[in-house]
Chain A
Amino acid sequence: MTLKEFILSRVQVFFVLVTLILLGSGILGGIYAPEQELHYYHLFSPIIIAGACILPTCVTYFKKEPTPLQYIIRQVIELILIELVVINLVSPPPEYNGSKIEFYISIGCMIFIIYMIIQVLSWLKKYKQAIKLTEQLKTFQTAE
């Protein structure tokens, strides 16, 4: 993957993240602080968090082809870095009465679920691409 392709893929991930963070915030906010009123500037939070989460994903850029193990290790490092960035960025709302640990565990789990959804979506996209390539291959083989 060239640097340009990598940057483009990061932009795609950024928009998926913004959507999923909005969704996750809505669900968690509804559970833990249903009375909380938001200001317009709060709408920037998903964008800021998604932007901050994109930075650690740079660890997955390889100039040379990685081995499957190297790839998996980088993915794990990426997830840990994202968890750390988000946990540092968010704090429990003032009206929140539960324990802080519980709050951060919920955030951690939410990030993990979002991360896994993105991985599944990426895999499905690749799977669809592989099916298309196989179809093109069959046409190519019978074209002679």
Chain B
Amino acid sequence: MGMKVVVMGCGRVGARIASILDHNGHHVSVIDLDSRSFRRLSADFSGDTIIGTGIDEDVLRAAGIEGAAAFVAVTNGDNRNIMAAQVARLVFEVPEVVCRIYDPVREDTYRRLGLTTVCPTTTISAQILDHVIGASGAMAVARGGEG
């Protein structure tokens, strides 16, 4: 039995997540402001596509957020992801909410506030630092470097 998952943002990351989940038998809705973004989805994608912004409760409802097991916010806008994630968690009480935040300071702030966050800036820096300085603590260095 597949889960219901709502993905906001159909860029490279969003389209990939949605396509993989769909391929694995989950019920996926993808939200994006630009209908052309949906071309990034795999050819056999069988989920729903919704044009709109995920910071609008009505758009989230249309995407089936009520009863969704997970919500993933991966647009290019940190603030949009943060706001949509809070709406998903507080208004719709979605059990699993994941939010991408590029700015490490904002990521740290909202992680402390209880959001599940992913910061590409920190993780990619850590991977590269790992190659450059080979330190096992590259992740800590990457986080710490932001002060």
Partners in one complex: no
Which residues does B use to contact A, with CB under 8 Å? none
Residues on A facing B (Cβ under 8 Å): none
